[in-house]
Structure formats: structure tokens, C-alpha cells
Chain A
Amino acid sequence: MQTISLEQSVAMIPDGASLMIGGFMAIGTPERIIDEMVRQNKRDLTVIANDTASPGCGIGKLVAAKRVRKAIVSHIGLNPETQRQMLAGELEVELVPQGTLIERIRAGGFGLGGVLTPTGVGTEVEKGKQRIKVDGKDYLLEIALRADFALVQAFLADYVGNLSYALTARNFNPIIAMAADTVLANADNIVPVGVISPDHVVTPAPIVDYLVLN
């Protein structure tokens, strides 16, 4: 793990990169990394996240600044701008059931090619997918997802990069941390080693590549 300034961390992200971003309606999203991405004019991004938040919050800022080329998300209902760009053909949106989305990311990080889920069988979600019967029950094969970068928001990070999360700000964060080539972590508090007890570490230090300095 290396520590890095906010500016340098975002400078590593090239235009056109795929990003997994933590957060659920922007709760648990690394807001300052998003702001810096807007400032550094990063564009043509593919965003994999639960949702696109609402205008002016979290991923909604990237959408508003038209920096997102493709979004793989479960919900855009609270961001009218995402819907507008989608209907205008400016932004490609792949809608994925939330439980399927997180499992596809988990599969990507856990060395699996995909997962079999009953969710979506017989619905529009099945289009173009393989249906597989196991013990007489139908499942869809949902393939793994990975990304170039994971942007993780933690509550505590220690000096070696162990992370723990707060309440409902955990959501996608520990799962995306496993599924990207480069993991950038931002934390509300950076604390000495030992403050997070081993039992309370959720994301182990070797998973984190860069910790953004506060």
C-alpha cells in the first residue's frame, strides 16, 4: 500500500477507464475523489455502481458533467439527468438487478467466471443470457464483472491500509475492493495500526493499493 495525494490519485485514472465506485445513493461514495475527477476533466468513463445517486451528489456529479459513457447500475430512478441522457442516446445504461450486480462484482473479485441466479429468469433481464437448469430449477448465468479501478470509501483506514466501514456506508465498498486492478481507498479517518482490531478489519491491507491522504 502506498499513500498518495488526492490530486495524484486521480491523475492515475486515464480517460476511458472503467471504475467501480462504492456508495448507495451517494452514502459511502468517496465524494472528494469524484470532485477531483470532475476538476481534472476525466471523461468517457464506464461506471459500475449501485446507482447514479441524485443530481449534485456522488456519481450524479459525473453524470451531470457528462463524463460517463456507460453506466452498469441497478437503479437510476432518483437521477432524472441519467434518464434524460439515456433516452437521448448520450449515455449507455445497463440495468442489472441489484443482487445480481453485487454477485457479478463479487465473482469478479473472487476468481469466479460468474454466478447462477434465479433472479431475472423469464423477464427482460434474461435476454441474451444462458439459462441453466440445476436440480430441476432454472437459473441465469450472470458473468463476472471487473474494472480498472475501484474507488472505495471507508470509515477507518490504518497506516498499512486495513479498512473498516460505517453503518450503511459499507454497501458495495468491500466487494468492489476485491474486483479491480487498482484499488484507491479514501477514509473518513486515518488511524494508527492497531486501532482497527483484527476482528473489525473488513478489507485487509494487501487488497488496497493506494490510500488517499486526508
Chain B
Amino acid sequence: MEPQVVIARRIAQELANGMLVNLGIGIPTLVANYLPEGVQVFFQSENGLIGTGAPPEEGMAHPTLTDAGGRPVTALPGASTFDSAMSFGLIRGGHVDVTVLGGLQVDQEGRLANWMIPGKMVPGMGGAMDLVTGAKRVIVAMQHANKGAPKIVAKCRLPITSVRPVDLVVTEMAVIEFRGGEASLLETGPGISVAEVVAATEAKLSIPSRVPEMKV
């Protein structure tokens, strides 16, 4: 299974009926494809839509029905649209149950860096800072390492997105929970040993006596 698919499938298991969920671009977007049987959630697009559905069939796109990347989407029955103040009131006000975001680095204490690489990539933070600060639960979806360099580090060397720690990081190698300033290894990826996770992780992990393999 592709690493992105492992990550997306595992994160989809964190979603429950009726949740309001915001998915970032990249791997997070894939989560919508793997919702467990019978689970229905509301997806929010921060450009002003709750009830975001799959991309439309060819020829069925509407010029004013788009996601936060400006791509055509559909709206599911029960959808609603609103302005940007409302959209970020939902986000900052703690009304979004789960946000899933990509990451460049996450540190020991769960602080996320995902909005810029000084001197190289300055896309702007868009809605990321509000999402990490305000959503009830923040899940990071990312590959475990970048060209061999660990992305789960002792301390972020890139500018952080928020001082609020993320709750969960899911990679193709591990599920790691952040609570009380501690990073705990909850699960290993398919076919991955605890020792392999530790070797690929710079942050200090707290490791229980038994670490199950993720079921994807």
C-alpha cells in the first residue's frame, strides 16, 4: 500500500458520525476517500462551505462551488455556505471537531511547523494557524521522514504554526500521540518494528510495553 494511503486510511478511523471536519491539502484530502462504512461527517472547506462532496463529474463543475484550493467540488444534501468571518468563527471558535493537516516538522511537545521554509518557500499560512489554534482536535498527516531526515524532531527548526500542540501524528510508520508535553508511540505502521520507528524519529518517544500494528 502507498504510504499516503496507509496514512489516510488510518486517520479516517478517527472520524465519527456527525463530526465537523476540515481537511488540508495533500495527504489530508485523501482521508475523505476512506471513511469507514456507515460513518457520515460534514467536511468544511474554509472558503465557506460545509457539506463538501467529491469532485463533480466531467462537465458538471459549477464556477462558484469550489474548495479551498479553488478546485470544483460538489455540495452534499444538507450543505451550507457562508462568508469567511463565519468560516473562521467555526474554526477558531472550537466548532470544528477535527482538522487534518500536512506537516513539515512536529516536535517533542507536539508543536507543528507547516507554513514556511525561510528563504525557500513562503506560501503564507492561509488558514493553518487558525485551524491548529482553534480546532477541537488536530491530526497531522505526513510521511515519517523527508529524504531520510526525521520530521518528528526534538525541537522545530522551522517557524511553528501555533503554540497549541497537535493531538495525533499519523505517518506510514507510526501513530504518535502528544499529551502533556510527551510523545507516545501508539501504533506502528504495517510491517514496521518499534526499533525502526525509533531510528527514524529524532524526538524522544515514550513506548509502552506492547505497541500494536495499525489496522489499515
Does B196 make an interface contact (CB < 8 A)?
no
Q: Produce 1/0 per residue, B106-130, CB < 8 A to A.
A: 0000000000000000111111111
Name the interface size band of chain B: 35 or more
Q: Measured between C-beta atoms, what is the minimum distance from A127 to chain B in Å?
A: 11
Does A161 make an interface contact (CB < 8 A)?
no
Does B162 make an interface contact (CB < 8 A)?
yes
> Which A residues are in CB contact (< 8 Å) with B47?
24-25, 27, 168, 171
- How many A-B residue pairs have C-beta atoms within 8 angstroms? Tell me: 142
Give the docked Cα–Cα distance between A98 and B66 (Å).
17
A74 touches B160 (CB 8 A): no
Q: Produce 1/0 per residue, A78-119, CB < 8 A to B.
A: 100001001100000001011110110010000000000111
Name the interface size band of chain A: 35 or more
Please tell me which one of the listed residues A74, A87, A155, A171 contacts residue B125 in the complex, with CB atoms under 8 A apart.
A74
Q: Measured between C-beta atoms, what is the minimum distance from B163 to chain A in Å?
A: 4
Q: Produce 1/0 per residue, A32-45, CB < 8 A to B.
A: 00000000000000
> Which B residues are in CB contact (< 8 Å) with A75?
123-126
Of the listed residues A77, A119, A120, A169, the one surrounded by the most CB atoms of chain B closer than 10 A to its CB is A119
Of the listed residues B46, B124, B162, the one surrounded by the most CB atoms of chain A closer than 10 A to its CB is B124
Does A8 make an interface contact (CB < 8 A)?
no
Q: Produce 1/0 per residue, B19-52, CB < 8 A to A.
A: 0000000000000000000000000011111000
Give the docked Cα–Cα distance between A102 and B91 (Å).
13
Q: What is A's interface to B at a CB cutoff of 8 Å?
A: 24-28, 50-51, 53-54, 73-78, 83, 86-87, 95, 97-100, 102-103, 106, 117-125, 155, 165-175, 202
A-B pairs with the 4 shortest C-beta distances?
A: A77-B123, A25-B70, A99-B88, A99-B130
